[in-house]
Structure 1
Amino acid sequence: MLNVIYEDNHLLVVEKPVNILSQGDNTNDDDMVNLLKKYLKEKYNKPGNVFVGLVHRLDRPVGGIMIFAKTSKAASRLSEQVRNKTFKKTYKAVLHGEMKKKQDNLSDYLYKDKKTNMVSVVNKNHKDAKDAKLSYKTLASNNGFSIVEIDLQTGRPHQIRVQFSSRNHPLYGDQRYGKNVNKKGQQIALWSYKIEIEHPTKKEKMEFVCEPPNKYPWNMF
């Protein structure tokens, strides 16, 4: 059952469950775009195709808030906000250990190996390096873990996971980048918590929030 947070004629704001694709791929597993098309067809009894515009993505294991467009005009205007960085995304994550600074800005250059789908920190002179910036603040620490709120300033693949892992604070449950994460089957503790946009037609500032689930490791804090 989809958790629809907000809906009008132009926008569809929903909670993406963990391990659901943002957009379909060759696995033919469930994805948000097709689930939302089905939702709209059934809700409004629409024949034929239904438009659902994907304007940003979340990695498959990451849950939380996503915004979709219900019209091509809204999709175009929201995509422009993504490009000019007025589409503001805030995440929450559970990390191993405690960061030296309670809040800080992290800046790196990242490279994605397309063959392995792995991202690494590289020198800025690397020919395929992309700059990656975020800021964080620690909300609480407990039992060798910390929960942080992350203001993502660039949207690079696996950016949050790699930037914290490279500082020896991998995300809880991150099998890919966590050297000291060895429990198979753990769910990565990264959550899309808040999105701020300008409404594509009304031009009003809008803010949507979706808290992480009340279960381990989130409920440690």
Structure 2
Amino acid sequence: MSKILSNKSNLQILYEDNHIIIINKRSGDIVQGDKTGDAPLSDIVKAYIKDKYNKPGNVYLGVVHRLDRPTTGIVLFAKTSKALTRLNKMLVDKNINKTYWAIVKNKPEKEKNTLIHWLKKNPKNNKSSAFIKEKSDGKKAILHYELTKKLDNYYLLEVNLETGRHHQIRSQLASIGCPIKGDLKYGFDRSNKDGSISLHARQIDFIHPVSKEEINVTAPLPNDPIWNVCN
């Protein structure tokens, strides 16, 4: 519990109302509990809500979507069951738009393209393999990317997902020879010093599930020299 309380003070809240809360996740934070036993972001947000609003008993918090542990950026949570039910349906209906920024090793062959693969997850090494041809046991994965900036030794891509698959951006970009900086699992040659990978959930746009207002939230980039030149 002390770890949760210490992390609570480091929460970067991008948006909050009675029904939803949007957090800028740090690299290394896990969204939900796993076998490591580390305090998940969901518990840290619950502790924040309990403390801020002096709530007795258990705090409700619904996890709408996840981000990989070494990834940074936007994570959306529901503070009410009504919001969670509606947001889950919006995700299925593709009514929540998420934009990612990825710093990659090589320049893609096409500066703007749509990638379609079939992803097959291997639970043993927690890795997804991308196949061009349809696989009966694979899941169809679609993303759109655009090269937005040439950095000194890398390239900045803006990525929009049509599907949400396990390690989708990481595996699909690696399959076209563009592994994400720091992503040893998918072919980058060395890790980032802080253990992160240079993939950031940059923006989210959707209609509020209860108030019906338009929500547009952008997550500040990590404070890191390579990200600092991307603004």
2:103/2:199 contact within 8 Å kept: yes
The residue type equivalent to 1:135 in the other structure is: H
- Match of 2:185? 176
Secondary structure, counterpart of 2:21 in structure 1: strand
- Match of 1:7? 16
- Match of 1:60? 69
2:81 to 60, 66, 72: 72
- Match of 1:101? 110
- Match of 2:5? none
2:36 to 19, 27, 31: 27
The residue type equivalent to 1:215 in the other structure is: D
- Map 1:112-131; keep pairs closer than 5 Å: 112-122=121-131, 124-131=133-140
Tell me how far apart the structure 2 counterparts of residues 214 and 141 of structure 1 sit (CA, whole Å).
19
Tell me how far apart the structure 1 counterparts of residues 223 and 190 of structure 2 sit (CA, whole Å).
23
1:199 to 193, 205, 208: 208
Q: CA deviation at 1:187?
A: 2.3
2:22/2:74 contact within 8 Å kept: yes
The residue type equivalent to 1:152 in the other structure is: L
Q: Please, what TM-score do these two structures have when normalized by structure 1?
A: 0.94
Tell me how far apart the structure 2 counterparts of residues 56 and 23 of structure 1 sit (CA, whole Å).
10
2:107/2:155 contact within 8 Å kept: yes
Q: Which range moves more in the overlay, 50-59 or 98-107?
A: 98-107
Secondary structure, counterpart of 1:22 in structure 2: coil
Tell me how far apart the structure 1 counterparts of residues 184 and 16 of structure 2 sit (CA, whole Å).
35
Tell me how far apart the structure 1 counterparts of residues 208 and 94 of structure 2 sit (CA, whole Å).
14
The residue type equivalent to 2:112 in the other structure is: Q
Q: Once the two structures are superposed, what CA deviation does each residue of 1:30-81 show, in whole Å capped at 9, x if it has no partner?
A: 2111001100111011111000110100011111011110100000000111
Tell me how far apart the structure 2 counterparts of residues 135 and 104 of structure 1 sit (CA, whole Å).
6
Tell me how far apart the structure 2 counterparts of residues 77 and 142 of structure 1 sit (CA, whole Å).
40
Q: CA deviation at 1:183?
A: 4.3
- Match of 1:44? 53
Query: Aligned in 2, Cα 1:195/1:188: closer, same or farther, shift over 3 Å?
Result: same
1:123/1:129 contact within 8 Å kept: no
Query: Aligned in 2, Cα 1:183/1:64: closer, same or farther, shift over 3 Å?
Result: closer
1:187 to 196, 203, 211: 196
Tell me how far apart the structure 1 counterparts of residues 21 and 146 of structure 2 sit (CA, whole Å).
29
Task: Compute the RMSD of aligned alpha carbons.
Answer: 1.5
2:221/2:228 contact within 8 Å kept: no
1:92/1:192 contact within 8 Å kept: yes
Query: Aligned in 2, Cα 1:7/1:13: closer, same or farther, shift over 3 Å?
Result: same
Tell me how far apart the structure 2 counterparts of residues 175 and 53 of structure 1 sit (CA, whole Å).
31
What count of residue pairs does the alignment treat as equivalent?
A: 220
1:97/1:169 contact within 8 Å kept: yes
- Structure number with the higher helix fraction is 2
Tell me how far apart the structure 2 counterparts of residues 97 and 16 of structure 1 sit (CA, whole Å).
26
